[in-house]
Each structure stands twice: as structure tokens, then as C-alpha cells.
Structure 1
Amino acid sequence: MDRGFSTRLGFILVSAGCAIGLGNVWRFPFITGMYGGASFVLIYLVFLALLGLPIMVAEFAVGRASLHSAALSFDALEPKGTKWHWYKYGAIAGNMLLMMFYTTVAGWMFYYVYKMGSGDLAGLDADGIGGAFGALLSDPLTMTAWMALVVILGGGVCYLGVKAGVERITKTMMMFLLVLMVVLAVNSMLLPGGGEGLRYYLYPDFNRLLEHGLSEVIFAAMGQAFFTLSIGIGALAIFGSYIGKKKRLTGEAAWVIGLDTAVALMAGLIIFPACAAYGVSPAAGPNLLFITLPQVFNNMPLGQLWGTLFFLFMSFAALSTVIAVFENLICCFLELLRKDRKIIIRWGMLVVFLLSLPCALGFNVLSDFQPLGPGTCVLDLEDFLVSNNVLPLGSLVYLLFCVSRYGWGWDNFIKEADTGHGMKFPAWTRAYLNYVLPALVLIIFINGYYALFFK
């Protein structure tokens, strides 16, 4: 089997590619705009360290110690007679559910690269751009075609192998993404009038937090910090199984989270000055990406070029996650079925395509199906199942498995996490990981249902 990365940089960039996705470059800017800019960012960074880092280290440790995907990692490490290995089904289901809607949304990004590059959106106002996006959603053939392109690209990269495909192409894509972000950020910050957007984004004003209520802002920051890293479904554990023992895992996780955070912060440097320069509210919500920003690019010098590059960067961010999750699913079924990797990928591409159809058709053919109430669609249901159920509960499984004496246990976890050179995992956090962090994860889980049914 083609197991393992050729370089440490490959591991860090591929793991970062898994974590970096639409949560960074779409959700982070608009939720930051909604909750007051820099003051929200500060709270978000605190929770990123408190929530994200220890759970990511736990997932890496389980993967590296077991040398398996989520399909067999718990089997290899659990005490005899325990049932931790049952979570393999939850992890596989979570990865599959994520692919079922992420392929469609990633398809939108590639569609916008084409529309911006071809000039089809040039000269349109907000209503015109909204109409173009609405036309995409209402066309089942176009939606399916762009979704299929993402499935083919993601599966095709994995088909080339771990080193030649997943590592080499994701590493190249991530480097290009980072360069694109710097270029786009510099361009935005130099726009006349962009300084006001920078002040909003970088200068904390805690009075803004009180407009929404401090508790709501804290929950939003906790949720964003928790969900941005793709932890809890084994998608990072598989890459932990690909690396050696030379480096301690806390430092590796810090690198991945640092890159993930840098991309999110850079996305804000692109969007907030551009919004300020053209009088657009940064609190425009989800429409910020697909309707508001194309209008901004239409009014910008060389806007067609900048708009095309922006959505190309968005496409890379989305595709990097698709590739990482695809690789995790491939390894799970490879270990369970013991079939040839390329056979599993060929069948996997077909299965992912078929399972992604309800989401692609949920905006048109299946639009009468509104599972979470009026105005909702298949995507909302699938996103809710992953973001509000599988991710928090899966993270809780990894966390408790690593710290509980009924699981792998603290001593085994610390030994694995601290094997190699680099940053040690802080042993003084044991009580926090045993009691406080599980409670925080449960609070996030419960708040997801509260927000859905009582707000």
C-alpha cells in the first residue's frame, strides 16, 4: 500500500487542506461581520486554542499509534472487551454525509470561476447576480454537472496515490492558495476607502458584542472554532497514521491550526476592505460570497481578474477538503474490504456521486422537501447532521477515548503525543480534558439543537 507522506511539509499542508475549507473562507468572514469584527475574532482565537488544539492532537495520536483509519484504529487500541470500535460506523457515515453536500457547494465555487472568468457576471447589479445564482440553483442538470466535476477531481487525485496524488497535488494547491490570498489581500487593502473596513476588522470594539448579547457571540465563536477544523470524523486521524515518530504531535497540530487560522484571517483582509471601499455591509450573511462580492468585483478596476482569482482560491479551499475526506473514506473501505485501492476509488466515485444527487437536486426537483421547516432543503439537513451531531459527538469520542481509563487512556495518549521532538502536550491540562472540555463539547451539541428549535 502507498502509505505515508514523503515530507513533513506534505503532512502539514495536507492536514491543513483538510481543515481549511468553506468554514474559513466563507463562514468566518460573514460571521465575523455579523458579530462585530475584531472583538469576535479575539474570542474565536481563544476558543480555537481551548477546543480545537487538544482534540486535534487526540485524533492525530489515535491515527499515528494505530497506523489505521477510523475503520480499524479503535479496534487496534481499545482495551479488550470494550466497544469503542463501534464508532467506526459513525465516522464513516459522517465522512459520507460531509461529501454528500460539500461536493455540491464546491461545485458552486468552480461555477463562479467560470462565470467570473468568462465575463458573464460583468456589469450586473446585486439583483442580476442574485438572478444568475438563482438560475444555477434551479437548473438540475447544471447543478449535477458541477457536482460531478468535483467528484471526478477529488477521486482522480486520490486515484494517483497518497504521495503522487494526495500529497503532491494538495501541497501544490495549498501553496498556490496561500500566494493567491496574499495577492488578493494586498489588492483589497490598497483600495481607496478600504481603511475603514480594516479598522472594523482589526480594531476591537466590545460594544458591538453587546448588540447581539455576549452569550450569543460566545456560542458563535465556540461553534466556529470547533467546526472549522473538521475534527471528530477521523479525517485528520488518517493523516496522523501517515507520519512517522520524529515530531511531537502538539507542534504539528499547532502548525495545522495556525495555517487554518491564517487563511481565515486573510479571507477577512480580502473581504472587509473591499466591502468598505464599495459601501457594502460586511454583515450580509451567506449572500456575501455569491451575490455581494461579485458585485464588488464588478465595480473594481480589473474586477474580472480579481473576481476570477478569488473564486479560484475558494475552489482550492473547498477541493482540498473534498480530497482529504475522500482519502479517509478510501482508507476506511480499503481496511474493511481488503480490495484493490483503485477498484475502491472507482466504485467510491460512483457511490459519492449518487449520494450527492439529493443535495444537488434539493434546490430544484426536490425543493418541496423541506426537512427542517419552511425554506430549508436537503443541504440544510445534511449540514445539520454533520456539523451539529457527528462532529461534536465524534470529537467527544476521540477525547474520552484518549483520556478515560475505560478507553486507550491518558498515559498511552501522552506517550504517543510526546514521542519525537518539539512541543510537549501540557500534562497539567489533564483535569481540563477529563471534565471541562467534554462539558464544553456537550454544551455546543445541545446549543445546536436549541438554536434550531427554539430561536
Structure 2
Amino acid sequence: MNDSTRENLGSRLGFILLTAGCAIGLGNIWRFPFICGQYGGAIFVLIYLFFLITLGYPVMVMELALGRASRRNIVGAYTVLPASGKRNWRRLGMLFFTGNIILMIFYTSVTGWMIAYACKYLSGSIAGLPAEKVGPFFNNFLASPGQMVGYMLITVVGSSLVCALGLRRGVERITKILMGCLLLLLFGLCIRSCLLPGAGEGLRFYLEPSLKSIQDVGLFNVIVAAMGQAFFTLSLGIGSIAIFGSYVDRTHSLAKESLMIIGLDTLVALLAGVIIFPACFSYGVDVDSGPGLIFVSLPNVFNHMAGGRWWGMLFFVFMSIAALTTVVAVFENLIGFMIDEWKFTRRRAAWINCAVIAVLSLPCALGYNLLQNIRPFGGNSTILDLEDYIVSDNILPLGGLLVVIFCSFRGAWGWENFIAEANTGHGLKFPNRARYYVCVVIPLFIAGLFLTALFRRWFL
């Protein structure tokens, strides 16, 4: 498909919001606050921001450059751009592209949880529950196969419908609306949280670095956690970013666009902490309570808050929107692959993906009830844990490493081609003098992240 027939985005704003929407998701708003709480608050935030710029930013510029130079999905880029060994690069691209499918088959279920809780707050079924019943309420929800599958299907079908409507009429238009609502809810919830009694103590924990935090957790653990969060929050390595680079023109440099995308992504993550930490400190909720922070701890906060039913509903609407923007973006990546490589029409690709992802998502949705005896890692592990491990600890870092290698070495696409594409257009230029850092230091960072996660998983 050539440039004259390929769909393109209607505006620069649409490109920035779509790409940021792909990055903005549960990694920012669910995972970031509880990881931040577990690893020392403000000191974690500072190290996270450092790695976001030094590691995440260059890889995002590279992935966008692959998409824009090839005008295709990430597999197509690995097929048409390399100087030699096209077949081998394509095979590697296909391997890491499967990360989109694996991501979807558990992310759709978790997104369904957010939608379910927004509906349950609206109906009033959570509001007013005593503290000792909030945890069992969540566990009973997970144990219900009908609810788990039902809300997963709402996510899959709704997102597929948005993509089927078209790139501009569906994906771009709906994402603009969703992102606008997300930002309005974000600022409204921040103001409400900061006005709670005792909110200042939570803000100090979140924003004032403390050496005691390092002593309690260990500097090495904080660094590893911050580096991992910075990389994973941007959804790099599997082509979810590259596909939107393929839809944008060459008016603006990719270094400039990447900074705006990362800035918006980071703003949402940081403000999510402004919502959560003052509320937790105000009502005496443990901030290092892990993944249960959202579904168990925060409902206890809302249930003690004046008007808590409605604030709880707005919070989970906010969470649902953040998750849905990522689901739509990754679905678009899968659909773009079918359109580019298999010449499917958009509607055919959308509904085939809808059916395939719905079926493949069933094990995760049933992993807390009918399939609860499947324990991939023993203990209380679930099918979701296995799928998350495959993507987060393996495909994402190794896929990101492949992007860097492909853009760095002459036998692949090469540094000169990457720099020329990245710096085409108006605005900030990616520095050519960063070549040694990008080609040597960043691969070592990513390899170190992967090996550290591997060691901690299997040997500690």
C-alpha cells in the first residue's frame, strides 16, 4: 500500500493524543502509584524521570522513525528497511509483534475490571460497604465467570467498533474525546484529593525525596524498579508506537513529537499519584499495599468520603478511559498489520481481530474462577500473571533492544538513516553526537533490565 492510498491521521493533535493514549494506560495510573508507594515515594519518582528521558525517549524516537520511514507497521518496517537479511529481520519482527496479541488477551480483562467498578459505583453496590467487606467484594467479582467474561467482551467489542469506523472517523475522533475526558477528570480528582484533611502529608511523601526511603527499600531495588517502570510505561518494543508514526507526515521532527508524547504521558502518571497519595494518607490507607491499592484500598477511601459514591465512579471512569485508549491503540496496531501485510479491508481486519482476541482472552477472564487451579508459577499465581510476565519481562525489553540495534547498525537500517528520518521536519533535532550512548549504553541498560528481571524471577 503506497502513501497515496494509505490512511493518514487528520491532524498533529490527533497523532500526539493517539500515541500518548497508547502509552497512557494502566501502567501509568494503576501500576505507577503502587510501585511508587512500595519503593519510597519521591526518591522513586526522581529516578523514574531520569530513566524516562535517558532510556525511554531515545527508543520512542527510534520506533516512531521506523514507522514513518516505512509507512508500514513494525513487521513491515523490518521487511522493507534493512540493508540486508530482510527475511531474518522480518521473522524477529513477527516474534515481538506477537506481544500485541498477548498484551491484549490480559489487558482486555483488566480494562473490564475498571469498567465494572465504574458501573458498580454508579449503581451504588460498593458505596457504603464496611472496610472488612470491600476485599471480599472484589474477590467475589473475580470469582464470577459471567461478569469477568461479560466485561471483557464489552471492552473487546467496543474497541473493535471504534477501529472499524476508520482511522480518522473512529480511532482519531474517539481518542480525542476520551483523552479530553481523561484530562478533565484527572484535574478534577486532583483538586478534590488535595482538599482532603491531612492531604499535605501524602504530598510530602510523594514529592519530597527522603534518604530514609532508600535505606528502607535499598537503592539498587529502587533503581531497578524505576528503570523498569520508565521503559514499560511507554509501550515500546512491539510496534504499538511505530504504527502511529506510519500515519503521520514529515512536517515536524520526531524528537520534538516524542518529547510532547512523553510529557503528556508523564503528566498523567504524576497526577495519578497526586490523586492517590493524599487520599491514602488522609484516611490512613497503606500506600505500599500493591495491586490491591486500586480495588481494595481506594474504595475504602471513597466509602468514607463525602459524596464518595460519585467520586469513586468518576475515578473508575477515569481509569477505564486510560485503559481503553491503550486497548484501541494496540487493536489499531493489529489491524494495521492485517491491512499492510495481508491487504484486508479495515472492517474485515477489525472484526477478525475482535473474534480472535475475544476467544484468546477467555483463559485470563476465567483464570480467577473456572480455571483458578491453573497456577503457572505456583502459589497464588494466575494465567494473567503468566501472560503479563511474557510481555512485561520478556517481549517488551527484548523488542526494545531489537529496535535500538536495528536503528544503530549499518547491517540493519543504520544510524545515518535513522538520524535523517528522525530529524526531518521542523523542531528539535535528535543529537547525532548521542550515537555512542544510543548504540552502546542503551542496549546495556535494556539487557541489564532484562537479565535483572530474569534473575529476580527465577533465582531469588
Q: TM-score range by the shorter chain?
A: over 0.9
Q: Secondary structure at the match of 1:233?
A: coil
Counterpart residue type for residue 362 of structure 1 = G
Shift of 1:123: 1.4
Aligned to 1:40: 44
| Aligned positions of 1:224-373 closer than 5 A | 224-373=229-378
Aligned to 2:31: 27
Shift of 1:127: 2.5
Shift of 1:269: 0.4
CA deviations 1:291-333 (Å, max 9, x no partner) are: 0001100101111111100000000000000000000000112
Number of residue pairs matched by the alignment: 455
CA deviations 1:229-266 (Å, max 9, x no partner) are: 00000000000000000000011011111111000000
Report the TM-score when normalising by structure 2: 0.97
Whole-angstrom distance in 2 between the partners of 1:89 and 1:413: 21
Q: Is the 8 A contact 2:84 2:411 kept in 1?
A: no
Aligned to 2:388: 383
Whole-angstrom distance in 1 between the partners of 2:144 and 2:459: 34
Q: Is the 8 A contact 1:150 1:319 kept in 2?
A: yes
Whole-angstrom distance in 2 between the partners of 1:215 and 1:355: 37
Aligned to 1:76: 80
CA deviations 1:360-401 (Å, max 9, x no partner) are: 011111111111222111100000000011100100111110
Aligned to 1:107: 112
Runs of 4+ in 1 over 6 A off after TM superposition: none
Whole-angstrom distance in 1 between the partners of 2:300 and 2:150: 25
Shift of 1:43: 0.5
Shift of 1:71: 2.7
Structure 1 residues without counterparts, runs of 5 or longer: none
Q: Secondary structure at the match of 2:236?
A: coil
The percent identity for this pair of structures is 51
Aligned to 1:59: 63
Comparing 126-135 and 189-198, the one that deviates more: 126-135
Whole-angstrom distance in 1 between the partners of 2:444 and 2:91: 22
Whole-angstrom distance in 2 between the partners of 1:35 and 1:395: 25
| Aligned positions of 1:77-226 closer than 5 A | 77-82=81-86, 83-226=88-231
Report the TM-score when normalising by structure 1: 0.99
Aligned to 2:449: 444
Is 1:6 matched with 2:10?
Answer: yes
Counterpart residue type for residue 23 of structure 2 = A
Q: Secondary structure at the match of 2:361?
A: helix
Q: Is the 8 A contact 1:70 1:91 kept in 2?
A: no
Counterpart residue type for residue 359 of structure 1 = C
Whole-angstrom distance in 1 between the partners of 2:84 and 2:223: 40
Comparing 212-221 and 445-454, the one that deviates more: 445-454
Shift of 1:406: 1.4
Whole-angstrom distance in 2 between the partners of 1:256 and 1:105: 24
Counterpart residue type for residue 341 of structure 2 = L
Shift of 1:442: 0.5
Q: Secondary structure at the match of 1:68?
A: coil
Q: Secondary structure at the match of 1:71?
A: helix
Q: Is the 8 A contact 1:2 1:161 kept in 2?
A: no
RMSD over aligned Cα, in angstroms? 1.0
Q: Secondary structure at the match of 1:57?
A: helix
Whole-angstrom distance in 2 between the partners of 1:127 and 1:353: 34
Whole-angstrom distance in 2 between the partners of 1:425 and 1:392: 22
CA deviations 1:128-162 (Å, max 9, x no partner) are: 11111111111111100000000011101001100
1:193–1:131 Cα change, 3 Å: same
Whole-angstrom distance in 1 between the partners of 2:193 and 2:377: 38
Q: Secondary structure at the match of 1:72?
A: helix
Shift of 1:87: 2.3
CA deviations 1:21-77 (Å, max 9, x no partner) are: 101001111111111111110000000011100000000000000000023111110
Whole-angstrom distance in 1 between the partners of 2:246 and 2:177: 22
CA deviations 1:76-107 (Å, max 9, x no partner) are: 10113342111231233100000000000000
Q: Is the 8 A contact 1:138 1:364 kept in 2?
A: yes
Structure 2 residues without counterparts, runs of 5 or longer: none
Q: Secondary structure at the match of 1:389?
A: helix
Q: Is the 8 A contact 2:84 2:412 kept in 1?
A: no
Counterpart residue type for residue 438 of structure 1 = P
Shift of 1:283: 1.2
Shift of 1:336: 2.2
Whole-angstrom distance in 1 between the partners of 2:368 and 2:330: 24
Aligned to 1:420: 425
